[in-house]
Amino acid sequence: MSGAVAEGSAIRVPGADPGGAFKWRRHSSLESELTRIDSVDSVFEMGEQFFFIGLPSNDTTLASNPYYASNAPFVREGSDPVNGDIRLTARLDGYSVATVKKTIDRAQKAFVVPMPYGPMVVVDDDPTAGVDQMTSAGLGPGPGLQSVLDTWQQTAEQQIGQAIHQPGYQFAVPFDQFNATDEALTTAPGKVIGYVSHGIHDGSGGLESQYIPNQLQFQLANGAIFQSHESYNAKSFDPALSQSQGLLAQWLEQGGTAGLGHVAEPYNGPDNVTNEDLLYQMLLPAADAAPGTAGLTFVEAAWNATRQLSYVNTVVGDPLMQFRIWTPGDFNLSGAVDMADYISILVNWGKSVSDASKGDLNGDGMVDFSDYVIMLTNWANAGGAQGAGGAASVNLIPEPASIALAGLAMMGLSHLVRRRV
């Protein structure tokens, strides 16, 4: 593409001269420009951005995203009858090919609510910032990220409580960890599937240069998304680059899966950068939906939450990643409860564990008969709905009258396994 320049492996499109009283031209990300690839004929039409002049329906310029805040899956045909239909774009990048492959693998296993141990979204707000979407109030079209996550958790807890016959059930680990002080959040009680912060701009509390590899001590879940209100957090994917602000590439290197960032100064605000509340509102599946249900794809949620096209915003990660509701008993995150999961619960039978992936499905700290019953309950649901186990898996389910005998057999077999170890 003529006029595109590379910085490390990040590609930015240079700006041009202003075109009018309410226009300015500046750097933009290649991904953002490619959303308009069918409408743009030359580099001189890139980066044609307007100051905010109203709701998207009132802005007919190329910079306006017609998909913004639509709260629906993307359909390209007719997406913008004024300027020509848009496309949704993302980039796969990292410090190495090996890193990129790992992010794709993790994207295939992005599940939410593996009861009762997480994962969670860390929301590290700045009390002096009045231009982001983290608080319950929100300043854009969405309800605010804290409100989105809290509402989702309440519904999910009710749903799970019914499934495991525990009215009043609450997550052992909250779905979100919210902080509105200038003290940085660097640890979390559960696996982290999302991180939103102001990075080094979070007051005097203390994130510093290289905070992602040196200060954040999160255990990252599959699907973990990075988003910070830092101007140059996607400026480069060159490991030799050093800057004071955090880098999305560092997040991926630490085990993250995807992220949203900026290749240049975006001038922070709900009309300029991706709205984190809309992002998670679209990305999360309905909290009361059946296991295996997914929200919008990552690329849909990202652009649904971003008003500006032809701009500095960029989307990095597997575009088809979806957050799916985890099925209790799917220990290996295959999307189905099958014989492999049966063996996992067998190996840990009678043991004290602190991780649902090892068989404790009701959160009592032990792998026992109650966990076995939960697994069997979801065997047919996951195998039939996802197809990863299929009818063959369903045929392996014992009849209800034989469950007790199966439990005794499992205890006997696990005793033999322990003696042979």
Residue that the structure tokens 């499992």 belong to: 410
Q: Nearest-5° angle of CA 191, CA 320, CA 13?
A: 100
For residue 69, which of 142, 16, 129, 126 has the smallest C-alpha distance?
Answer: 142
- 315, 302 Cβ separation under 8 angstroms: yes
Pairing, β 111-112 against β 120-124? unpaired
Residue that the structure tokens 């693998």 belong to: 105
Residue 419 makes CB contacts below 8 A (sequence gap 6+) with none
If one counts every other C-beta atom within 10 angstroms of the C-beta of residue 301, the result is 26
- The CATH 3.40.50 domain(s) of the chain lie at 97-325
- 9, 238 Cβ separation under 8 angstroms: yes
- 300, 282 Cβ separation under 8 angstroms: yes
What is the token pair recorded at 94? 């990292």
222 burial via Cβ count (<10 Å: 0-12, 13-18, 19+):
buried
Over the chain, what HEC string results? CCCCEEECCEEEECCCCCCCCCEECCCEEHHHHHCCCCCCCCHHHCCCEECCCCCHHHCCCCCECCCCCCCCCCCCCCCCCCCCCCCCCCECCCCCHHHHHHHHHHHCCCEECCCCCCCEEEEECCCCCCCCCCCCCCCCCCCCHHHHHHHHHHHHHHHHHHHCCCCCCCCCCCCEEEECCCCCCCCCCCCEEEEEECHHHCCCCCCCCCHHHHCCCCCEEEEEEEEECCCCCCCCCCCCCCCCCCCHHHHHHCCCCEEEEECCCCCCCCCCCCCHHHHHHHHCCCCCCCCCCECCCHHHHHHHCCCECCCCEEEECCCCCCCEECCCCCCCCCCCCCHHHHHHHHHCCCCECCCHHHCCCCCCCECCHHHHHHHHHHHHHHHHHHCCCHHHHHCCCCCHHHHHHHHHHHHHHHHHHHHHC
**pLDDT value at position 23?**
44
For domain 97-325, which CATH number applies: 3.20.80, 3.40.710, 3.40.50, 1.20.58?
Answer: 3.40.50
**CB-based contacts of 413-421 (< 8 A; 24+ apart in sequence):** 413/346, 414/346, 414/347, 414/349, 414/350, 417/346, 417/347
- 216, 254 Cβ separation under 8 angstroms: yes
Residue that the structure tokens 């190495």 belong to: 96
**pLDDT value at position 67?**
93
Q: How many CA atoms lie less than 13 Å away from 30 in the CB half-sphere?
A: 19
Please give the model's pTM, rounded to 2 decimal places.
0.83
Please, what are the averages of pLDDT over each run of 10 residues along the chain (421 residues)? 39 53 61 86 62 52 84 92 89 95 96 76 86 77 91 89 78 88 90 94 82 95 95 92 93 98 86 92 92 93 92 94 88 80 85 78 82 78 39 36 41 39 36
Instruction: Note if the bond before 14 is cis, omega within 30 degrees.
Output: no
- 192, 122 Cβ separation under 8 angstroms: yes
What gap in Å lies between CA 249 and CA 31, rounded to an integer?
16
